């Protein structure tokens, strides 16, 4: 049936044309942007994931920049430490030469002064982005505030959506050649005690006792450190037999070296530790025929007990004698003077060796940091590429498919336009019937 009021064919063709125009618009947008999902309305779930991951990728890019900055700081400190290692080797050679008879020590001292100035120059100039890890304004050891810095290393997003920033911690106390107030690798300690300090030597300082059976030992009052320069000698007697026991860092390491977490650093941190050290000194370091008594017990009580053949004899313990082969504060490299008639060359040589080992350890520490930062940079680059690929899988358009679809839609659009034109011609055909 033909009608001049309702053109069903034209309406159908127009509806089809609108649908094709809408599809054309979406496909053209995909071709123009390269994105299958550009707006939240395209696919809310995938759009949300992709938008979040793009944000994370931006944060990862900032992390990579921070790692580059951290690597530059590490490299700067490492070059300074490597140069210092070479200078210390030359310094040691000059000090050894100064011990020869007939050598002109003034000339050697002049060379040493130049080497000192070079070390100071290196420590002052090893700065990057305003940070100098070889010359620190902190005082004391790693336990004090400001002894650590960090390099941003990662950006993390947990399953519940919370984010955090990971860091690589750098213990600057291991690196500083010089610190304000002392305590750097090449300096004296800032206070008269090393480590925890000797304090009362675990309650042994001034301690003396006598008695039969189990004689109470020293009451441990606070942690302390026996350094390689300390020797604590305690004289005692059991009946008419006299002997001594000696506490050194080697004894401490023998007694506590098997403990988990013990760093062979001479630290005695508890009554139980102290009892083990006393047992090592009084019993384990002696041949059986020479044993008079041994320390027993543990936290909280320590006591001395004579060996079985001497169990009925009187035990007497004398106050300890402490000696140290170095001044309590150590030696500053800038104070070494081979022209000093009172110089103690063996001690100076020992101290220089210790400084060399600390600088070498610091260089190794920086090397390990450099390696870790390089690995983290490589992982960060791989992770960023992986995120890019993952986002692409979610939202990128298949350009071959979009191009083919666009061409098909263009043909369909042309056909729909033709259909609409044909449908609109029906009215003219009706008009021709009345002519």
> pLDDT, tens digit, for every residue of 227-255?
877 899 999 999 999 999 999 988 998 89
What whole-number distance in Å separates Cα of residue 79 and Cα of residue 74? Answer: 9
Q: Domain check: are 51 and 149 in the same one?
A: yes
Does 344 have pLDDT greater than 50? yes
Q: What is the pTM of this model?
A: 0.60
In a domain, 42, yes or no: no
Look up residue 7 and give its two tokens. 């053109």
Neighbours of 137 (CB within 10 A): 11
**Which residue did the predictor score with more confidence, 24 or 389?**
389
Q: Domain check: are 117 and 63 in the same one?
A: yes
> Considering only 89-93, 151-155, 416-420, which range has the smallest mean pLDDT?
416-420
Q: Domain check: are 147 and 231 in the same one?
A: no
Structural domain count of the chain: 3
**Which residue did the predictor score with more confidence, 200 or 25?**
200
Q: Domain check: are 170 and 219 in the same one?
A: no
Which pLDDT score, from 0 to 100, does residue 423 have? 67
Q: Domain check: are 309 and 371 in the same one?
A: no
Give the relative orientation of helices 345-395 and 44-97 as an angle to the nearest 10 degrees. Answer: 160
Q: Domain check: are 382 and 401 in the same one?
A: no
Does 371 have pLDDT greater than 90? yes
Q: Domain check: are 320 and 337 in the same one?
A: no
Look up residue 253 and give its two tokens. 């390491």
Query: Which residues, listed in sequence order, are joined to residue 165 by a DSSP beta bridge?
Result: 155
Query: H or E segment at 46?
Result: helix 44-97
Which pLDDT score, from 0 to 100, does residue 141 have? 40
Name the residue among 122, 120, 81, 113 with its Cα closest to residue 95. 113
Which pLDDT score, from 0 to 100, does residue 7 have? 63
Phi, psi at residue 234, to the nearest 5°? -125, 120
- End-of-domain residue from the set 298, 324, 350: 324
What is the share, in percent, of the chain residues with pLDDT greater than 70?
Answer: 82
Question: What value does the mean pLDDT take over residues 256-281?
Answer: 82
- End-of-domain residue from the set 272, 307, 324: 324
Q: Domain check: are 61 and 29 in the same one?
A: no
Q: Domain check: are 293 and 381 in the same one?
A: no
Burial of 132 (0-12, 13-18, 19+ CB in 10 A): buried
In a domain, 94, yes or no: yes
Q: Domain check: are 81 and 171 in the same one?
A: yes
Which pLDDT score, from 0 to 100, does residue 143 have? 39
What is the span of the domain harbouring residue 285?
209-324
Cβ atoms of 181 and 136 within 8 Å: the answer is no
Does 139 have pLDDT greater than 50? no
The phi-psi region of residue 213 (left if phi > 0; otherwise alpha if psi is between -120 and 50; otherwise beta) is left
What whole-number distance in Å separates Cα of residue 139 and Cα of residue 123? Answer: 16
Which pLDDT score, from 0 to 100, does residue 374 have? 92
Q: Domain check: are 152 and 65 in the same one?
A: yes
In a domain, 167, yes or no: yes
User: How remote is the C-alpha of 218 from its chain's centroid?
Assistant: 39
In a domain, 196, yes or no: no
**Which residue did the predictor score with more confidence, 386 or 16?**
386
Question: What value does the mean pLDDT take over residues 14-22?
Answer: 72
CATH number for the domain that contains residue 368: 1.20.1330.10
In a domain, 40, yes or no: no
Q: Domain check: are 54 and 165 in the same one?
A: yes
């Amino acid at each position: 049936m033909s009608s001049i009021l309702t053109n069903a064919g034209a309406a159908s063709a127009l509806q089809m044309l609108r649908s094709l125009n809408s599809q054309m618009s979406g496909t053209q947008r995909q071709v123009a942007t390269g994105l299958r999902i550009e707006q939240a309305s395209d696919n809310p779930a995938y759009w949300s994931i992709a938008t979040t991951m793009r944000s994370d990728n931006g944060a990862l890019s900032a992390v990579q920049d921070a790692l580059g900055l951290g690597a530059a700081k590490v490299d700067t400190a490492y070059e300074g430490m490597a140069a210092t290692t070479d200078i210390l080797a030359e310094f040691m050679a000059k000090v050894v030469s100064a011990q020869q008879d007939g050598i002109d020590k003034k000339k050697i001292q002049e060379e040493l002064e130049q080497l000192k100035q070079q070390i100071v120059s290196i420590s002052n100039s090893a700065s990057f982005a305003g940070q100098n890890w070889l010359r620190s304004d902190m005082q004391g050891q790693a336990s004090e505030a400001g002894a650590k810095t960090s390099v941003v290393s990662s950006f993390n997003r947990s399953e519940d959506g919370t984010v955090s920033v990971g860091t690589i911690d750098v213990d600057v106390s291991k690196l500083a050649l010089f610190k304000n107030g002392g305590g750097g690798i090449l300096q004296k300690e800032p206070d008269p005690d090393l480590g925890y300090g000797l304090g009362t030597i675990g309650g042994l300082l001034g301690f003396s006792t006598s008695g039969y059976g189990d004689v109470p030992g020293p009451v441990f009052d606070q942690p302390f450190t026996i350094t390689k320069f300390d020797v604590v000698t305690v004289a005692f007697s059991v009946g008419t037999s006299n002997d001594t026991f000696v506490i050194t860092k080697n004894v401490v390491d023998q007694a506590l070296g098997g403990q988990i977490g013990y760093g062979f650093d001479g630290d005695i941190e508890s009554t139980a530790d102290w009892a083990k050290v006393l047992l090592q000194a009084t019993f384990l370091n002696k041949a059986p025929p020479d044993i008079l008594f041994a320390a027993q017990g543990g936290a909280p009580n320590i006591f001395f007990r004579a060996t079985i053949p001497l169990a009925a004899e009187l035990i007497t313990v004398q106050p300890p004698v402490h000696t140290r082969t170095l001044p309590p504060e150590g030696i500053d490299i800038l104070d070494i003077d081979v022209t000093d008639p009172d110089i103690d060359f063996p001690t100076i040589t020992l101290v220089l060796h210790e400084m060399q080992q600390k600088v070498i350890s610091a260089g190794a520490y920086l090397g390990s940091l450099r390696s870790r930062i390089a690995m983290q940079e490589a992982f960060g680059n791989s992770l960023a590429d992986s995120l890019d690929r993952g986002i692409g899988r979610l939202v990128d358009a298949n350009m071959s498919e979009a191009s083919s679809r666009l061409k098909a839609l263009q043909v369909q659009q042309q056909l729909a336009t033709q259909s609409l034109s044909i449908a609109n011609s029906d009215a003219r055909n009706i008009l021709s019937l009345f002519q």
